[in-house]
A = this chain, B = another copy of it.
Amino acid sequence: MKTIEDMARDARLAYKAFLNKGTTMLKNDILEAIAENILKERDRIVDANGKDLENGRKKGLSKAFLDRLELNNNRIDGMYRACMEIMALKDPVGSVNDMTVRPGGFRVGKMRVPIGVIGMIYEARPNVTVEAAVLCLKAGNGVILRGGSDALNSNMALAGLIRDTLKEKEVDENLISFIETTDRTAIVDLIQQNKFVDLIIPRGGESLIRTVTEKSKIPVLKHYKGVCHTYVNEFADLDMALKVTVNAKVQRPAVCNTTETLLVDEAVAPTFLPAVIKALLKNGVEIRGCPKTMAYSDDIKEATEDDWYAEYLDLTLAVKVVKDIDEAIAHIDKYGSAHTDAIITRDIAVSEMFIRNVDSSSVIVNATTRLADGGVYGLGTEIGIATDRLHARGPMGLEELTTYKWVVYGNGNIRQ
């Protein structure tokens, strides 16, 4: 079997060749062919996935885990659609922004270009194999995929199909590589390949991400936690606040952009809290509140310091009454994870103050934190959400998988 270093070197060569060859037309042609091959190879994909499911059941994996692992007809159609949607997205590569004419008479601008070779480390869901591969391809990047061990057969079938399609289209198939071993040393090897790999994107549990970040010689684009807040300001439309708060907690509690802490201005607490507590309890939400919140219901446990830091990813919500927007901002600054935070208010000065001071990757006014999503923002499929500050923040789509270079069009200009 190839070493990881050989794989990385080959990916870089394939990426370099594709810089020249990878026109938008060819890229879209490949994406369409991958989509069609997914439908054609449906049975083979389901078979491979069947092996993973069987191994998983033997291993005693949880029902929820097995559900995420499964590639049924619906999900195969979903992968087809993802390819076709990404095909339809505007190609960012080669577009030039901020072109200006300088006094010397030459033009200078910033051209969007691929980032290079990306190492993608992810767990569980095998559809990520397809989504990551086609997003990277459309942005002109090479990619080395390392999927979770429980999805190995499914991932190998999908990656094999994608590589076969590249060959069909006479593109070096090493543009998209898949690490076929489940040996953890492969990850350690991959994150040392700074000569050939430009960016590592880990998607998975916090411990995976911390390990990768600590040991990587390559920049890591990461997502730690989503401790998202909804802050109901004293000038809020309280009907809106009720509807949005319940949605932010209840609609899909297991995902990173769900609200984990509700902050309520004390001026509206007496009217808002009884209503929202009732609605949340009706939806099966466990509430952990500050002493002031507890006064409104006997069904509220007292929140500990840990609760303010908690990413429950479950039907649990921490609730705190705050004096004013300053206390709300200070709370978010101290306990939040800079992922997504929302304010409900009618007052423009207040919302602008919230936007200016809350230093998170998404700041939302008068809507649910659940909106923080590549699809909802209009990016098409996202490759992940970043809680870092550089180079991308929040949902990352095609544009975020590119960087830029300066291009100068001169006419013999020299420097005096």
Q: Which residues of A contact B (CB under 8 A)?
A: 16, 19-20, 94, 100, 102, 104, 106, 108, 111, 113, 115-116, 198-199, 219, 237, 240, 243-244, 247-248, 251-252, 333, 353, 355-357, 359-368, 370-372, 376-378, 388-391, 393-395, 403-416
Contact = CB atoms under 8 A, between A and B. Distances in A.
A407 to B, nearest CB: 5
A100 to B, nearest CB: 6
B406 A247 contact: no
Given A100-B378, A377-B102, A16 B366 contact: no
Contacts of A372: 406, 408
Given A391-B390, A412-B243, A414-B247, A355 B115 contact: no
A395 B362 CA distance: 28
Nearest to A330: B16
Contacts of A408: 362-365, 367, 371-372
Nearest to A361: B405
A251 B414 CA distance: 9
A388 B368 CA distance: 37
Shortest 6 CB-CB contacts between residues of A and residues of B: A367-B410, A391-B391, A247-B414, A370-B415, A367-B413, A240-B412
Nearest to A338: B405
B252 A415 contact: yes
B414 A368 contact: yes
A198 B393 CA distance: 13
A366 B111 CA distance: 17
A238 to B, nearest CB: 11
A189 to B, nearest CB: 18
Contacts of A405: 359-363, 393-394
A34 B372 CA distance: 41
A359 B413 CA distance: 22
A116 B389 contact: yes
A357 B115 CA distance: 13
A368 B243 contact: no
Given A100-B378, A102-B376, A108-B378, A365 B412 contact: no
B356 A19 contact: yes
Nearest to A409: B365
A19 B359 contact: yes
A320 to B, nearest CB: 20
Contact of A371 (B360, B371, B413): B413
Contacts of A394: 405-406
A291 B406 CA distance: 34
A47 to B, nearest CB: 35
B415 A403 contact: no
A113 B361 CA distance: 10
Contacts of A333: 16
Contacts of A357: 16, 19-20
A115 B365 CA distance: 22
A102 B353 CA distance: 24
Given A19-B359, A367-B413, 18 more contacts: A19-B357, A100-B378, A108-B377, A219-B388, A240-B412, A243-B412, A243-B414, A247-B415, A364-B410, A366-B413, A367-B412, A368-B410, A368-B414, A368-B415, A371-B415, A391-B403, A393-B404, A394-B406
